Amino acid sequence: MKLITILGARPQFIKAATVSRALIEYNRSVTDPAQRIDEKILHTGQHYDANMSDVFFRALEIPQPAWNLHCGGIGSHAEATARMMTGIERVLLDERPDRVLVYGDTDSTLAGALTAAKLHIPVAHVEAGLRSFNRRMPEEINRVLTDHLADRLFCPTRAAVEHLRREGITDGVMHTGDVMYDAALIFGRLAAGRSTVIESLGLTPKSFYLATVHRAENTDDVTRLTAIVRALIEASTPTCPVVWPLHPRTRSRLEAYGLLAPLSDAVRLTDPVDYWDMVRLEQSAAAILTDSGGIQKEAYFHRTPCVTLRDETEWTETVEAGWNILTGSDTDRILHALRNPSPTRHEIADFGDGHAAEHIVRALIKNVPSQLGRHPMVP
Ligand code: UDP
């Protein structure tokens, strides 16, 4: 089978790393070459800085992209998506793959799914069925549309399966578990040996907070970003500093709003860090403050309390289990949640058995059961 995986942004590299590993394992296990899945990666170039892209391919040993469309830093969503679609179409017409695989909810996801579907190439979506129910988020629009274009929908949680059912999508839907849980298990064990970030930043484990902010709803709204910055400055002390690896978009907005200078006096700002450093920081932090989707879950996977700087989340399981508190951008609520984590926290079984990537590979090679509920997890 000829498979083209379309990627473009940091969280997708991490998700794809687990499936690419599982594909390599699967290919090793089959003797008949006709049964192999030949994966080629198409990188749209949406994220292009070395520390947002190349470091992940190297560190996580993801096969090098066969194509890079260099679509990063292009104006609006429409312009970027259109440019990606034109490049993707050219590759798909030349290659004529049997299937396209897309991940998550970025413009690259939608561009890949829409282009393939119009060429009648079947689309598989990893991380299907997530919903924030906030249509002002570009990610929500990307994921809803991608789910309606895909014929294989690999859901990380049961809630995701249920969201799809409510939208009338039941064929090709499976609860595989979460590939990011696989990643946390595989790479979490190795991080201590591969990262010296705690030592190089002079941090004491469990005596610092880790922050990340990059969602447009926070970065592009000066009132929200100012309120978050105020909370981080107040939370950061010499004995328990806030460490904040800055997403390039956030850095440019902080500069534009005049917030960078006061922030850098109080908070430990760094460039984006590689995945090994990120995992080590997540494992060692006293708590995490974030508006990232992936990091909310990684906080739970590494059993670190999380404060989510958004008004809603796709990962409601983490909130219900007591590991995550939603605060929006309100300074007082952020500080209160940070100082008062939930006293009772439960385990969450829903993210799967740590082998989501293998379940996905198995589903790619055989017919997918269509009846929801009969197949809670791919056998
Ligand atoms: N990440 C990283 N370095 C950083 C910030 C994030 O390796 O400096 C990783 C993080 O561990 C997670 C993924 O990037 O696996 C999340 O990406 P992001 O927050 O950009 O996107 P989202 O999950 O919100 O779509």
Name the nearest CA neighbour of 257 among 285, 223, 207, 232.
223
Cα 44 vs. chain centroid, distance in angstroms? 16
Interval 226-236: pLDDT, tens: 999 999 999 99
Same domain, 151 and 201: no
Please enumerate in sequence order all residues whose Cβ is within 8 A of that of 217, keeping only pairs 6 or more positions apart, or say none: 136, 137, 224, 291, 310
pLDDT for residue 48: 86
| Contact between residue 320 and residue 310 where contact means Cβ atoms under 8 Å apart | no
Interval 141-193: pLDDT, tens: 999 999 999 999 999 999 999 999 999 999 999 999 999 999 999 999 999 99
CA distances from 128 to 174, 182, 203, 339 (A): 9, 16, 37, 34
Please enumerate in sequence order all residues whose Cβ is within 8 A of that of 135, keeping only pairs 6 or more positions apart, or say none: 141
378 lies in a domain? no
pTM over 0.75: yes
Number of CB atoms found within 10 A of residue 223's CB: 9
CATH code (residue 266): 3.40.50.2000
Same domain, 148 and 224: no
Q: How far apart are CA 254 and CA 268, in angstroms?
A: 14
Q: What dihedral angle (degrees, nearest 10) is formed by the CA atoms of 157, 158, 163, 169?
A: 100
Averaged in consecutive runs of 10 residues, what is the pLDDT profile of the chain (379 residues)? 96 96 95 93 93 90 96 91 98 97 98 98 98 96 98 97 98 96 95 95 98 97 98 98 96 96 94 96 98 97 98 96 98 97 93 96 72 37
Domain interval for residue 246: 193-350
Ligand 1 atom with the smallest distance to the CA of 290 is 19
> Hey, which residues does 152 pair with through a beta bridge?
124
| Contact between residue 163 and residue 175 where contact means Cβ atoms under 8 Å apart | no
| Contact between residue 56 and residue 274 where contact means Cβ atoms under 8 Å apart | yes
For ligand 1, residues with CB inside 6 Å are 10-11, 14, 212, 214, 245, 272-273, 275, 278, 292-295, 298
Catalytic residues: 214
Ligand 1 atom with the smallest distance to the CA of 139 is 25
Ligand 1 atom with the smallest distance to the CA of 245 is 8
**Minimum CA distance residue for ligand 1 atom 7:** 275
325 lies in a domain? yes
